[in-house]
Amino acid sequence: MGRFLLYVCIIVLVAYALPGKATVSESRRHLSATETDLQRPRLVSDEDVTVSSLSRNRYAEVSSEKAVVDGALLLDSKDHLERLASSPLEIFDMWMKAFGKEYEKEDEKAKRYKIFMENAEMVKSNNQDPSSTFVMALNQFADMTLEEFRSFSLGLNYPNDKKLKSNGASPFRYANAHAPASMDWRKEGAVTEVKNQGMCGSCWAFSTTGAIEGINKIKTGKLVSLSEQQLVSCDTEQDMGCNGGLMDFAFDYVVQNGGIDTEKDYGYWAWGLPCQSRREHDRPAVRIDGHEDVPVNDKDALRKAVANQPVSVGICASSALQFYHSGILTDKSCCQDLNHGVLVVGYDDTDSNGAHWIVKNSWGEQWGESGYFKLSQESSKPAGACGIYQAASYPVKDDTSNPEVPEICGLFGFTECPLHQSCVCNFDVFGLFCLFWGCE
């Protein structure tokens, strides 16, 4: 009896220490409170934010008493520029407060302040340039160097031999498809909420799930948010979890595994945790039949593909993307060596500011245009702006069905119910934690 009570106490303590099944949304809330350096920004309150309407090259005036706009410091008003010059620490403290930043040691704060000021100078220079087509802001990454940013917030591992692939080397089912003047899969309900990869080089996993979520919605009519954590933890034969991966390899894994679990069931933690084999093998909620690559260096081919489904792409993320706030990124602000996986969810050829791609990122909703950015379709380089035409691919789903998934019970998933039965708690501790599960 004593040993039994000891076990009960241990389980209860663990239950209090660990949250339950964490979705990406819940993980973002948890991570932002504990690992604020790279997570979704937490604004002090709605009253601290002044929302401005931003055009392509001109920036709306911000209240002289407010420097935080849409969750970022724009440094576009005369008053804010003067305050940056006369009271830079005040601006830094304002930014720290807006994003919940704290530094344990003074020398670390001094280091981050120096980096912040260097980044502020770059943001100011871009936003004062009348030829700039986009706005930069001091967002949640403002105390990081470009090298630090690339180490923690990207994660595309693009092998050199992939570049040897020639146009038409793999099947391309949309070669003869019609592409309208504009397309936005968000309006079709085929795009889940913007997620946050956190301090983990797992962009490739988010690009992969986004593409599968899209084609699954198109084929079945159901939008289901899928598990990035399963890819990070279990897809380890060719991908490397938080140390990077490639969408093509992840599509292959999903096919070989017989599908992928949902985000709700296998939540995201932004860590390379051990694979939960039961959830990996027993709970593939959405399956695909393969994937195809878009012909490289072919803008029209990418347009045709995106006209039919959201498409995973690799791009080169530079400091311009690190501090992007709104507008259209072009060749001038891009690099070409692929290091980041994202999802193209649409395009617009009719925008008076220029034809562009609509791209979903994985750095939270407070970054960029509510988590999205626009990338120009026009480029002097064969690979396109930011190299977007080098590594585009999409999953293939031939039917409208998915596997039936049994319900799994409790935090640890020790009990799994047969199909068409649900979990029932047979014994709990004060209604807070279930010790013994059953099915009915």
**Catalytic positions, please?**
203, 340, 361
The DSSP annotation for 336-370 comes to: -S--EEEEEEEEES--TT--EEEEE-SB-TTSTBT
Q: Closest by alpha carbon to 327, among 304, 303, 308, 352?
A: 352
271 CB contacts (<8 Å, ≥6 apart)?
200, 232, 242
Dmax over CA atoms of the chain, in Å, equals 77
Tokens representing 374? 């626009």
The Cα–Cα gap between 339 and 156 comes to 5
Q: Can you tell me the distance from the alpha carbon of 12 to that of 18, in angstroms, rounded to the nearest whole number? A: 10
**Which amino acid would we find at residue 42?**
R
Of 173, 216, 161, 166, the residue nearest 400 (C-alpha): 216
**DSSP summary character for residue 226:** B
Q: At what angle do helices 203-220 and 247-257 cross, to 10 degrees?
A: 50
Per-residue CA distances from 347 to 104, 193, 284, 310, 334 (Å): 44, 18, 31, 10, 18
Angle between helices 78-86 and 106-128 (to 10 degrees): 150
Separation of CA 137 from chain center: 19
CA-only gyration radius of the chain, Å? 23
- Token digits for 100? 């919940």
Tokens of 85: 């010059």
Determine if residue 9 is left, alpha or beta; phi over 0 gives left, psi from -120 to 50 gives alpha, anything else beta.
alpha
Question: Would you give the end-to-end CA distance of the chain in angstroms?
Answer: 29
Strand pairing class (68-69; 72-73): antiparallel
Contact 246, 203 (CB under 8 A): no
